[in-house]
């Protein structure tokens, strides 16, 4: 079981207190009627599914209930960074280098 | 190929079974193949076997990063069934059931297919409605599936606890009698031996590191840890690593890879006659011929390539097993492990051509690919050989995510997602 840090509550808790909501920083097309089928497919279904350093959304469902983002290495499952929703995606390559990957 | 028979068995007994010989070669890769299959799991080996056997394409290599059958083929809970909801899926999985029945004879290899019945439990009113809807849909699609009352369920599987005083009492069950189990390793080995005999090169410990495409975009071959191998066609059958491999050809996939866990108990005498699955409380269990209880747990909630999973996932399943089968409460578990399963948004597989000419993909089997192994290899071989899908896998394209013709089996899979 992973230990997850909630940047809003400023606490580290067991994974069972949280819900993982998949790849982060995927934004909904801003003008749906002008969006091509390809762009809808990319938005709805295509995922990076990275083997390595990955930014994903988590939600503190049994705590504050808020969404936040985390960077995790999907091979070792180690978290490299937690940050609040709305903050820009960190430089994943730099984080990977820092973690010695 | 030396055929296995009772006579061979008797003959080899005289030399204490020391002279059986290798079941397949370990060749160095040739410079060029007509077809390269990436991934020597059950599906990949079956594809190679049917390419050689049914389509006469024998200049084939199966390239494997680790050892053959060492991924999800060697990690699953060996369950075979075909009671899926939609006609497209029913056709695909039933095609596999047809092949399972003659597989040992076809391969001259005992895959130990045992149609002991798969019973799926219903614990809530909603479960009952869904199960009965499945049964009706299955009957219309020509797939065998029947409804059992709790008493009939216990008659079929005596260890089952049908007390009304448990947290999730059993309200009935759907039984597919033709479902059952097969020996997972034997399936990989049987296909490997059969394919090798027909001239297929199985190249183990050889990782694919790149897919080379020409000026026109078509595939030219694969870069591997043993050098460049030219190929006219490439079939990717890489399960949890499909996204990674397809990325080498610049194709994005609608896949997410999750760890799925299973565990086995110490071996005991025959105590469990069938396969029991419960969608709602998330457990499935059967007994192997060796005597171990084979128990399947769930997936973790996050993508991972770690081939391990959270212990709370296993605990959750064990809780359910202990309540449904109280006499297993003192059993000791021997081993648990994880495999990386590639899950599509609609929980149906992808057996498809791709936007890249000469590149084909067979993936997205999620938490339940083992049961389809023969059917999957059979129709995927057809797709590669003819450059067009077989009637049965025609609906299972990548393009369905663009057209919207999804095959929504999320609710039909054996476990809650």
pLDDT digits (tens, 9 = 90+) for B251-275: 999 999 999 999 999 999 999 999 9
Specify whether the CB–CB gap between B174 and B148 falls below 8 A. Answer: yes
Can you give the pTM of this predicted structure?
A: 0.95
Mean pLDDT of chain B: 95
pLDDT at A56: 97
- pLDDT for B416 beyond 50: no
Distance from CA of A3 to the nearest CA of B (A): 11
Distance CA B165, CA B163 (A): 5
pLDDT score at B279: 87
For residue B299, the model assigns a pLDDT of: 93
Contact B122, B173 (CB under 8 A): yes
Give the chain A residue nearest B247 (alpha carbons). Answer: A48
Per-residue pLDDT of B15-43, as tens digits, reads 999 999 999 999 999 999 999 999 999 99
Q: Exposed, middle or buried, B10 (CB in 10 Å: 0-12/13-18/19+)? A: exposed
The CATH superfamily label for domain B115-180+256-343 reads D-Amino Acid Oxidase, subunit A, domain 2 (3.30.9.10)
Q: What is the pLDDT of residue B271?
A: 95
Any A CB within 8 A of B306 CB = yes
pLDDT at site B1: 77
Q: Taking CB atoms and an 8 Å cutoff, what residues of chain B touch A37?
A: 402
Closest CA to B42 of B16, B70, B2: B70
CA distance B249 to B415: 33
- Tens-place pLDDT, residues B276-294: 999 888 889 999 999 999 9
Q: Helix (H) and strand (E) counts for chain A?
A: 2, 6
Burial degree of A89 (CB within 10 A; 0-12, 13-18, 19+): exposed
Residue of B nearest to A43 (CA): B254
Residue B411 pLDDT class (50, 70, 90 cuts): low
Q: Cβ contact (<8 Å) for B301 and A1?
A: no
In order of A57, B56, B144, B375, the CA distances from B137 in angstroms are 37, 37, 10, 21
Query: In the prediction, which pLDDT does B410 show?
Result: 76
Interchain contact B303–A (C-beta under 8 A)? yes
Residues of B in contact with A51 (CB under 8 A): 241, 243-244, 257, 305
> Tens of pLDDT along B297-331?
999 999 999 989 999 999 999 999 999 999 999 99
How many angstroms separate the CA of residue A101 from the nearest CA in chain B? 15
Task: Calculate mean pLDDT across residues B236-252.
Answer: 97
Question: Quick check: A12 and A89 in contact, CB under 8 A?
Answer: no
> Mean pLDDT over residues B212-227, rounded?
96
Q: What is the pLDDT of residue B169?
A: 96
Task: Give the pLDDT confidence of B150-187 residue by residue, as tens digits.
Answer: 999 999 999 999 999 999 999 999 999 999 999 999 99
Position B141 scores a pLDDT of 93
Assess if CATH 3.30.2270.10 describes domain A3-98.
Answer: yes
Domain boundaries, given as residue ranges, for chain B: 6-12+26-78+184-254+346-403, 115-180+256-343
Beta-carbon contacts below 8 Å between A and B: 64
**Are the Cβ atoms of A49 and B243 closer than 8 angstroms?**
yes
Are B305 and A74 an interchain contact pair (Cβ–Cβ within 8 Å)? yes
Residue B80 has pLDDT above 90, yes or no: yes
SS3 state at B106: helix
How large is the average pLDDT for residues A29-37? Answer: 94
Name the strands in the sheet holding A67-73, side by side, starting at the edge strand that comes first in the sequence. Answer: A19-23, A53-59, A67-73, A79-84
Contact with chain B for residue A73, Cβ under 8 A: no
pLDDT at B2: 84
Spell out the domain ranges in chain A: 3-98
Is residue B404's pLDDT more than 70? Answer: yes
Q: What pLDDT score was predicted for residue B132?
A: 95
Q: How far is CA B212 from CA A47, B114, B380, in A?
A: 23, 43, 22
CB contact under 8 Å between A38 and B302, yes or no, is no
Q: Identify the pLDDT of residue A101.
A: 61
Is residue A3 less than 8 Å (CB to CB) from chain B? Answer: no
Contact B256 A22 (CB under 8 A): yes
Q: Which CATH superfamily is domain B6-12+26-78+184-254+346-403 in?
A: FAD/NAD(P)-binding domain (3.50.50.60)
Residues of chain A contacting B303 with CB distance shorter than 8 Å: 22, 49, 54, 56, 74
pLDDT tier at B73, thresholds 50, 70, 90: very high
Q: Mind telling me how many Å the CA of A97 is from chain B's nearest CA?
A: 19
How high is the pLDDT of residue B325? Answer: 96
Interface mutation vs chain B, best among A16, A43, A47, A49, most B CBs within 10 Å: A49
Cβ-based contacts of B243 with chain A (< 8 Å): 47-51
């Amino acid at each position: 079981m992973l230990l997850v840090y909630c940047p809003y509550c400023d606490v580290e808790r067991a994974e069972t207190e949280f819900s993982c909501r998949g790849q982060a920083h995927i934004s909904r097309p801003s003008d749906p009627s002008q969006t091509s089928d390809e762009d809808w497919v990319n938005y709805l279904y295509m995922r990076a599914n990275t083997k390595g350093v990955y930014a994903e959304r988590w939600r503190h469902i049994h705590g504050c209930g808020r969404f936040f983002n985390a960077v995790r290495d999907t091979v070792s499952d180690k978290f490299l960074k937690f940050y609040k929703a709305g903050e820009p995606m960190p430089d994943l390559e730099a984080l990977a280098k820092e973690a010695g990957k | 190929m030396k055929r296995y028979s009772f006579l061979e068995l008797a003959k080899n007994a005289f030399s204490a079974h020391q002279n059986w010989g290798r079941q397949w070669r370990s060749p160095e890769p040739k410079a060029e193949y007509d077809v390269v299959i990436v991934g020597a799991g059950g599906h990949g080996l079956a594809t190679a076997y049917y390419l050689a056997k049914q389509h006469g394409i024998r200049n084939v290599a199966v390239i494997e990063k680790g050892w053959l059958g060492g991924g999800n083929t060697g990690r699953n809970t060996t369950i075979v069934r075909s009671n899926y909801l939609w006609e497209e899926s029913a056709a695909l999985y039933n095609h596999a059931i047809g092949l399972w029945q003659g597989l040992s004879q076809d391969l001259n290899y005992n895959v130990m297919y045992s149609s002991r019945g798969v019973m799926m439990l219903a614990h809530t009113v909603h479960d009952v409605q869904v199960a009965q809807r499945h049964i009706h849909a299955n009957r219309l699609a020509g797939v065998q599936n029947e409804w059992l009352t709790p008493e009939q369920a216990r008659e079929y599987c005596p260890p089952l606890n049908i007390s009304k005083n448990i947290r999730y009492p059993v309200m009935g069950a759907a039984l597919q009698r033709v479902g059952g189990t097969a020996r997972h390793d034997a399936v990989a080995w049987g296909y490997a031996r059969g394919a090798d005999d027909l001239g297929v090169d199985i190249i183990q410990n050889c990782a694919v590191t790149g897919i080379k495409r020409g000026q026109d975009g078509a595939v030219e071959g694969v870069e591997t840890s043993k050098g460049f191998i030219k190929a006219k066609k490439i079939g990717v059958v890489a399960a949890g690593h499909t996204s990674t491999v397809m990325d080498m050809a610049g194709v994005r996939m609608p896949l997410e890879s999750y760890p799925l866990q299973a565990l086995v108990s110490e071996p005991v005498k025959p105590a469990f006659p069938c396969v029991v699955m419960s969608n709602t409380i998330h457990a499935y269990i059967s007994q192997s011929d060796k005597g171990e209880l084979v128990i399947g747990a769930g997936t973790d909630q996050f993508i991972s390539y770690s081939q391990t999973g959270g212990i709370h996932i296993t605990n959750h399943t064990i809780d359910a097993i202990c309540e449904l089968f109280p006499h297993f409460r003192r059993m000791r578990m021997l081993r648990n492990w994880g495999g990386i399963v590639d899950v599509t948004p609609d929980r149906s597989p992808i057996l498809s051509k791709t936007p890249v000419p000469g590149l084909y993909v067979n993936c997205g089997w999620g938490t339940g690919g083992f049961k389809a192994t023969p059917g999957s290899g059979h129709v995927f071989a057809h797709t590669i050989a003819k450059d067009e899908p077989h009637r049965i896998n025609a609906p299972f394209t990548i393009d369905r995510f663009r057209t919207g013709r999804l095959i929504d089996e999320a609710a039909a899979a054996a476990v809650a997602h």
